[in-house]
Homo-oligomer: A and B are copies of this chain.
Amino acid sequence: MQLPSTLLENAVAEFSKLPGIGKKTALRLVLHLLKQDTEVTTHFSEILQKMRKEIKFCQRCYNISDGTICSICANSGRQKNTICVVENIRDVIAIENTQQFNGTYHVLGGIISPLDGIGPEQLTINPLIERVKNEEVNELVFALNPNIQGDTTIYYIQKKLAKSQCIITTIARGIAFGGELEYADEMTLGKSISNRQPIQQYIK
């Protein structure tokens, strides 16, 4: 695609670097900004830069935060002795949206994946071990994606906490609501049969 201006071309190239944005979409976005007043673009840029420069990570759970401690950790109404361990910030947002969890979180910043060169040192596993020791944590709920890397991470942390009294659980795995048995993979269907649960839990 030949563009009539280098300035336009550079702006389109910058937008295309973002995930899921191709050259055509980038051009649409840039032409949209061109249609608006100059202030719109200035404001957009300033908000982004301010966000990138000033955003902090909670010193306790590594969630995104405006201050040194995030709003979830600072909330006295939340159970501090139940920690949900997640891979990234998006998972925190997803679980918060369910309004089903009243504990605090711990964001690992990734999962152990030797193929991608990510070992336990690159993640916030040591701070998590410290938290379990110091904060009298009763339960660690792992909410990691159910794949080999996720299971490896759970196994690694479990080993590290072998001497601790803390209960380690993981979110339930099985057939999703609205899913069809016919199309479920064998692994999920098999596990959902062997881990069958009393019906009272679901019909309330």
Contact = CB atoms under 8 A, between A and B. Distances in A.
Interface of A: 1-8, 10-11, 14, 17-21, 25, 27-34, 38, 41-55, 63-66, 70-72, 88-90, 92-93, 96-97
Copies per assembly: 2
Contacts of A54: 7
A67 to B, nearest CB: 9
A48 B33 contact: yes
A47 B4 contact: no
Contacts of A89: 4, 31
Contacts of A47: 10-11, 14
Contacts of A46: 45
B66 A27 contact: no
Contact of A4 (B27, B42, B72): B72
A68 to B, nearest CB: 12
A29 B18 contact: yes
Contacts of A1: 93, 97
Nearest to A29: B18
Contacts of A42: 49, 52
B55 A44 contact: no
Contacts of A41: 48-49, 51-52
Which residue of A18, A27, A92 has the most chain B CB atoms within 10 A of its CB atom?
A18
A50 B71 CA distance: 37
B65 A38 contact: no
25 contacts: A1-B97, A2-B93, A2-B96, A3-B93, A4-B63, A4-B89, A4-B93, A4-B96, A5-B55, A5-B65, A5-B70, A7-B51, A10-B47, A10-B51, A11-B51, A14-B43, A14-B47, A18-B33, A20-B28, A27-B90, A31-B88, A31-B90, A33-B51, A38-B52, A38-B53
